[in-house]
Structures are given as C-alpha cells and as structure tokens.
C-alpha cells in the first residue's frame, strides 16, 4: 500500500510539473514570438473577452471592467512588445489593458487614425505628417517625429521593423524605415500603372514589401528595390474587396464578395488567376491577417450564415484547423 501510495504521489507530482511546464512553454513561445500570435476582442452583446491565440495555444481573459461601448466594426486594437493592449476608435474613446488582462483603463486620449501599432514598448500612431506615442504618465499622445510630406500610412514587417509608405497618386512609390528618432529611405521606385483607393496596410516578408489599398478591387502591390507590380492589375479579384493577408513565403490571399454578396477566400496567384479557397457565407464583417507560411487568422462579426467569430485557416490543406469562438470578434491584431 505504501509503495502504491508513493507511486501515485510521484506520478501526480510529475503530471503537475509536466503540464505546468507545457503551459509555461506555450507562454514562452508567445513571449519569444517563436509563434506569431493573434490578439482579438470578442463581444457577445454583454461581455468583452480578450483572446490570445496561435496555431498551438489559446487563452481567454473575460473583462472584469467594461470597455468603452463602440459600434460593431468601429474598433481597432494594438499590442506592444510588453504585451500591453489598447482597444480604440478614432472619434473619442480608448482603453488600455491592466493587471491580469481582465481590467481595462478607459481614457479619452484616443488616436486620430487607425494607423496605430505597437512598436517596441510603446504605442505609436501616424496622423499625417507626424508620428505620435502614448505617454501613460500624462495620459496623452505626444508628437515625436515628422514624416515630412508623407500622407499614406505606416505598417510593421514580419521582422518587427516599422515602415512608412507613400504613393503620390500617379506613379511614384516610396518606402521608409522608421527608427525611434529618424527615417531611412529604403525604396523609391516608379509604378508603370495607377493604383486607386487609399492605403490600408502593408507586409514585409524576407523577399518583398506588399502594400494593400482599400475601397478598390485592384489594390495589391508587390515591391522590391528593383521591381514593382500590381499583382491584380487588370482583372478584379471580386465584386467587392474586403481584406488581404500575405504569408511568410509570399503567397497572397484575399477576402472578397461576388455579385451575390457571397464571401470568398481567394489566392492571388497572378493577374486574373484567383482560385477560390473557401466560402464563408454572405453576411458579416471580416478582418484577416497571416500567422506564418501556411496559416491565416480570420475574425468575423454578424456573420449569420457562415463561420462567425475567430478561426485559423490552413491554406496548405485548405481547411479551418482551429475554430476558437463563434462569438462576434470585433477587433484583431497580430503581433509582429
């Protein structure tokens, strides 16, 4: 009996240590960014929940203090390297995560644009032509760097570096690298065609830059120091463009609708070659981003006839591999 008891206790202790170490390993992977991680806000009409997830790990934090009430679809969010979180709109409200990620500090010190990113241990936003950072000592945004005549926007690459993008409306495209106190011109190149719409977001992989305009169906531009092209230059990707994600190995995917409002995930292989990968119904609001070389994360709200909430899609296997929640997800940010 004594041997059996000792065996049971030893096994129990080992199991506790094993599973604890696994959980800590997951947290280490998130902290070290070995696995790119998505942050999202789910809202069920009463409660807000912060979700932290990647292909291997999911953790949820139900809010114990209310977030500001925004209209669905009007939220933005960002995360910095300290894993602090801001949720905001650009009209009058913002909230910062505190303590154990279940408490929120509401503030009226809101950003004036949606180009808000976590950069190092700060929150930074761009409102032409200046960059601002949030100073929590005075609860306000401080202008710290002018980008001169730049008016398009900023984005972060997969390397964590911050970039500014400018398109002159005709043919000239410029990309700058941004450090905390200066900018460095990386690319100035002539585009033989004309883009339309306004800059939405960008990607930087090991091989190229990608810039995405919104409110247009021919909007995706691939840029390197010696080459620039609109990858969907002559044929519309769909009836209405929603969002784009670029994987680490330079594959391009976009969400669009057709004339009947059906929502499709398509791969953009080349101009006019846009095979349908998946269909997600015909209603709702969608946001998409990439996690690695084969997974994209998709958030949706008010999708009543398809996959709603938050899920991870494997573009290699063409299937959803992780459906995290079917509650409305109203904001999404992938930490780079």
DSSP assignment of 118-174 equals EETTEEEEEETTEEEEEETTTTEEEEEEE-TT--SEEEE-TTS-EEEEEE-SSSEEE
| Structure confidence at residue 68 as a pLDDT band (50, 70, 90) | confident
Domain membership of residue 7 (yes or no) is yes
Any domain includes 10 = yes
Average pLDDT (199-209) is 96
Tell me, what's the pLDDT at 16?
Answer: 43
Residue 130 has pLDDT above 90, yes or no: yes
CA distance 184 to 201: 19
Average pLDDT over residues 234-252: 95
DSSP state of 190: E
User: What's the confidence (pLDDT) of residue 122?
Assistant: 94
Residue 217's pLDDT band (cuts 50, 70, 90): confident
Does 4 fall in a domain?
yes
With a cut of 70, say whether residue 157 has pLDDT above it: yes
Decide: helix, strand or coil at residue 243: strand
Residue 72 has pLDDT above 80, yes or no: no
The verdict on residue 14 lying in a domain is yes
Q: Which of 259, 251, 325 is nearest to 292 (CA)?
A: 251
C-alpha 305/C-alpha 288 separation (Å) is 18
What does the mean pLDDT of the chain come to? 88
In angstroms, the CA 145 to CA 177 distance is: 13
Return the closest-CA partner of residue 280 out of 225, 243, 330.
Answer: 243
- Higher pLDDT residue, 135 or 14? 135
206 within some domain: no
Report the number of distinct structural domains present in the chain.
1
Question: Does residue 161 lie within any of the structural domains?
Answer: no
The mean per-residue pLDDT over the stretch 175-196 comes to: 90
Tell me the residue range of the domain where 16 lies.
Answer: 1-32
Average pLDDT over residues 79-102: 92
Spatial distance between the Cα atoms of 113 and 103, rounded to a whole number of angstroms: 25
DSSP, collapsed to helix, strand or coil, labels residue 14 as helix
CA gap 10, 303 in Å, rounded: 49
Examine the pLDDT at 22 and tell me if it is beyond 80.
Answer: no
Confidence band of 3 (pLDDT split at 50, 70, 90): low
Alpha-carbon dihedral 152, 158, 160, 162, rounded to 10 degrees: -10
Residue range 250-254: average pLDDT? 97
In a domain, 28, yes or no: yes
Q: How confident is the model at residue 226 (pLDDT cuts 50, 70, 90)?
A: confident
Task: Let me know if residue 24 belongs to a domain.
Answer: yes
Between vectors from CA 83 to CA 65 and to CA 57, what angle results, nearest 5°? 90
Burial of 258 (0-12, 13-18, 19+ CB in 10 A): middle
């Amino acid at each position: 009996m004594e041997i059996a008891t000792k065996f049971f206790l030893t096994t129990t202790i080992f199991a506790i240590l094993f599973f604890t170490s696994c959980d800590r390993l997951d947290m280490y992977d998130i902290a070290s960014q070995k696995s790119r991680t998505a942050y999202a806000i789910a809202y069920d009409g009463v409660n807000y929940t912060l979700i932290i997830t990647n292909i291997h790990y999911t953790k949820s934090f139900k809010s114990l203090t209310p977030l500001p009430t925004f209209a669905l679809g009007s939220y933005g969010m960002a995360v910095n390297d300290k894993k602090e979180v801001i949720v905001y709109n650009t009209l009058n409200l913002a909230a910062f995560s505190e303590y154990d990620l279940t408490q929120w500090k509401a503030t009226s010190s809101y950003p004036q644009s949606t180009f808000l990113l976590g950069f190092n241990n700060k929150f930074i936003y761009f409102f032409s032509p200046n960059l601002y950072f949030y100073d929590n000592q005075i609860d306000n945004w401080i202008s710290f760097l002018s980008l001169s005549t730049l008016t398009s926007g900023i984005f972060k690459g997969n390397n964590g570096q911050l970039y500014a993008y400018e398109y002159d409306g005709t043919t000239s495209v410029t990309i700058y690298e941004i450090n905390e106190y200066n900018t460095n011109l990386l690319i100035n190149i002539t585009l033989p065609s004309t883009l339309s719409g306004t800059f939405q977001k960008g990607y930087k992989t090991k091989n190229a830059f990608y810039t995405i305009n919104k409110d247009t169906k021919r909007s995706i531009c691939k840029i390197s120091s010696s080459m620039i092209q609109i990858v969907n230059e002559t044929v519309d990707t769909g009836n209405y463009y929603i969002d784009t994600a670029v994987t680490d190995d330079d594959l391009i995917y976009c969400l669009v609708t057709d004339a009947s409002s059906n929502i499709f995930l398509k791969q953009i292989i080349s101009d006019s070659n846009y095979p349908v990968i998946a269909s997600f119904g015909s209603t709702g609001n969608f946001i998409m981003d990439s996690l690695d070389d084969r997974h994209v994360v998709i958030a949706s709200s008010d999708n009543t006839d398809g996959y709603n909430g938050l899920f991870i899609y494997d573009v290699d296997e063409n299937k959803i591999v992780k459906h995290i929640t079917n509650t409305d997800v109203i904001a999404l940010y992938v930490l780079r």
